[in-house]
Amino acid sequence: MTTTIYVPCDTTALSLGADRVVQKLQQAADQKNIELHLIRNGSRGLFWLEPLVEVQTPYGRVAYGPVEPEQVDELVSAGLFDGNPEHPLFLGDISQHSYLQQQQRLTFARIGITDPICIEDYIAHGGFAGLKKAAALTTQGIVDEVKVSGLRGRGGAAFPAGIKWQTVLDEPQNQQKYVVCNADEGDSGTFADRLVMECDPYMLIEGMTIAGLAVGATLGFIYVRSEYLLSQKMLDEAIRRAEVLGYLGDNVCGNGRSFRLEVRLGAGAYICGEETSLLESLEGKRGLVRSKPPLPAIKGLFGQPTVVNNVLSLAAVPYIMAHGGKAYADYGMGRSLGTLPIQLAGNIKHGGLIELAFGASLRKVLEDFGGGTFTGRPMRAVQVGGPLMAYLPESQWDTPMDYEAFAKLGAGIGHGGVVAFDDTVDMGEQARFAMEFCAAESCGKCTPCRIGSVRGVEVIDRIRAGEHRDNNLILLQELCETMVDGSLCAMGGMTPFPVQSVMKHFPEDLMASSRPVEA
C-alpha cells in the first residue's frame, strides 16, 4: 500500500529540521515495507507547529506537530502512517484548527495545502481563474476591477493600486512598459512575501501577468532579496513551467498579448525595498533613492512607465479578478479594504501568518492568535510594521488594524509585521538600534539620514551615560524632527518613529544605562 505524507518545504520548516524529518520517515517506511508518497507542500503558516507532518487517511488529512527529527521513530511506532490519534503531537485535521478557522484567508487560501510548484495543483485549487477572466477583458476593464476592490499597496505606503495602474495605462501605448514586483521584504518580523514565493509562487506570477495585461507591459521583473534564495529557486521553476503551459510568453492564455517574467536577485541592501532605490538596483547601479517626481509610474525602470507593487499587492489580484473587486472590498473597514496578511513574530508563543479583514484589534492578534509571549513573561512592547515603526505600549493595543487608525497614533501598519517583546526588553537599546540600523542601511544620498543616524546613536549613548541628559534629550528630539522633515525617503524619514515612541512611552529605559540582557 502507499501512504501519502506531507512535509512542508518552506524556510521555517527547513530551519527546524523538516528535511531530516523526511529522511527519518523514509527510513521508517522502508523498514516497514511501506511505499511512501512524500509531498513537500508549503507551510500553512502555523510556525510553532513546524515541522508539521500530515498524513492522508481515509478520513482526511491529519496532522502531527511540531515534529522533531528525533521523534519520528516514536511517532511511527505510535501509528503515524495510519493517522493514529493516540499521540500527544496528534492535531487532527489542521484545517479545523482555531488558528485557521478564525482567519479570512483570501490571498493565502491555498497555502500549505498544495505542492508549491505543481502547476496542476494550483489550477485544481482555483489558480489562473483570475488571469483567464482578465485575458478576456479590456485593459481599462482590468484596471477598473482593481479600483473597485479598493486594494492599497501592501508594502507599507498603502497607495491605491488601481490608481497606480491607471497612471501607467494612461501613458502612451507605443513605448516599453514594465511591471516590477518589489520582493525585497527586508522588514524584521515580516515573512508573508517569502511565504507567497516559497509556498504559492504561481499566485504571484498570475498577479503580475494580470498587471502586465492591464497596463500594456510586456516584461516583468521580480526583485528578490538575496537572503531569499529558496524564493528565487521556486519562482524560477514556476516561471519555467507557466511558460510551457502558455500562462506566460507570447500568447498569454491565447489572447495574443505577450508577457514575460524574470527574477533578479538583490544584494543585501535594506534600502532597495524603497521603490526608486530598487529600480536603480535593477538597472545595475548603487541603490540610491531617486527624488520624486517623476513618479515611477511615468518614468520608472530604464526611464519607462512602470508599475511597482509589493508581492502581497500583486498576490491579491488573482482573487480580485476571479471573484470581482466588490467581493474583496466587502472585507475591511473605512478606507482599508480587503484583507491584511499579518505576520506574528518575535517573542510570541504562537507565531505565524494570519490573514484577517482589516479592523481586528492588535490585542486580538496578540492574545487570541499569539497566545502571549514565548517566554511566558508579561508582554511589554509591540513593534508593528517593521524597524522604522513605533513601539506600542499596552495602552495602544486596542487599536484596530487599519491604516488610518494606526496613522493617528503616529504609528503604521507597514507590511503587516507584528513583533512582540516581553518585559526583559531594554527599550533604550531598541531606540539605539533603530539609529544604528539606519546608519548601516542608509543609502547615503541625503544628509539627514546619512549623518543624522550616526549622530543619533551618539546622542542616545550620551543620554544613557548620563552626560548632560536634559540637553541631549532636547537634541535628540530636534534631530528626530530634522530627519522626519528633511530626509529624501522613508528610511531617514521614519527611523525616528521608534526612537520617539521610546522617548514618549518608555522614557525610564532610555535614561537607564544599558544593562546586559542575559539569555
Partner 1 sequence: MSETTDPKAAVKSMLVAGDWSPEIVRQEVAALQHKPGALLPILHAIQDRVGYVPEDAVPIIAEMLQQTRADIHGVISFYHHFRTHPSGSNLLEVCRAEACQARGGRALERHVQKRLNVGYHDTTADNEFTLVPVYCLGNCACGPSIRVNNDIIGRVTSQKFDQLVDALTTSVLQLK
- The mark string for 431-470 relative to partner 1 (x by CB under 8 A, - otherwise) is --x---x--xx-x---------------------------
User: Smallest gap, in angstroms, from Cβ of residue 480 to partner 1?
Assistant: 19
User: Smallest gap, in angstroms, from Cβ of residue 195 to partner 1?
Assistant: 9
285 binds partner 1 (CB under 8 A): yes
14 binds partner 1 (CB under 8 A): yes
**Residue number with CB closer to partner 1 (229 or 409):** 229
User: Smallest gap, in angstroms, from Cβ of residue 319 to partner 1?
Assistant: 23
**Residue number with CB closer to partner 1 (217 or 443):** 443
What does DSSP say about strands 417-422 and 379-384: parallel, antiparallel, or unpaired? antiparallel
374 binds partner 1 (CB under 8 A): yes
Among all chains, which residue has been given the C-alpha cell 521553476? 237
Site for partner 1 in 260-279 (CB under 8 A): 264-270
Among all chains, which residue has been given the C-alpha cell 525610564? 508
User: Smallest gap, in angstroms, from Cβ of residue 420 to partner 1?
Assistant: 6
15 binds partner 1 (CB under 8 A): yes
Site for partner 1 in 208-237 (CB under 8 A): 226-230, 233-234, 237
Distance between CA atoms of 322 and 479, rounded to whole angstroms? 49
User: Smallest gap, in angstroms, from Cβ of residue 374 to partner 1?
Assistant: 6
Strands (E), 93-204: 178-183
12 binds partner 1 (CB under 8 A): yes
Site for partner 1 in 292-331 (CB under 8 A): 302
User: Smallest gap, in angstroms, from Cβ of residue 416 to partner 1?
Assistant: 12
Q: Are 56 and 9 in contact (CB under 8 A)?
A: no
Site for partner 1 in 35-64 (CB under 8 A): 38-40, 47-48, 50
Distance between CA atoms of 495 and 387, rounded to whole angstroms? 8
DSSP 322: H
Look up residue 12 and give its three cell numbers. 521555517
Site for partner 1 in 396-435 (CB under 8 A): 417, 419-422, 425, 429-430, 433
Distance between CA atoms of 181 and 221, rounded to whole angstroms? 6
Amino acid at 157: A
Q: Is the peptide bond before 116 cis (omega within 30 degrees of 0)?
A: no
What does DSSP say about strands 2-6 and 53-57: parallel, antiparallel, or unpaired? antiparallel
What is residue 177's three-state secondary structure? coil
207 binds partner 1 (CB under 8 A): no
User: Smallest gap, in angstroms, from Cβ of residue 116 to partner 1?
Assistant: 6
CB atoms within 10 A of CB 326: 12
DSSP 365: I
User: Smallest gap, in angstroms, from Cβ of residue 4 to partner 1?
Assistant: 13
Stretch that binds partner 1, among 4-12, 57-65, 86-94, 243-251 (CB under 8 A): 4-12
Site for partner 1 in 106-125 (CB under 8 A): 115-117
Contacts of 36 (CB under 8 A, 6+ apart): 2, 3, 5, 25, 26, 29
**Residue number with CB closer to partner 1 (345 or 489):** 345
User: Smallest gap, in angstroms, from Cβ of residue 115 to partner 1?
Assistant: 6
Cβ burial, residue 172 (10 Å; 0-12/13-18/19+): exposed
Distance between CA atoms of 295 and 305, rounded to whole angstroms? 9
344 binds partner 1 (CB under 8 A): yes
- The mark string for 235-254 relative to partner 1 (x by CB under 8 A, - otherwise) is --x-----------------
Site for partner 1 in 162-201 (CB under 8 A): 185-191, 194
Q: Are 262 and 146 in contact (CB under 8 A)?
A: no
First to last CA, the chain: 49
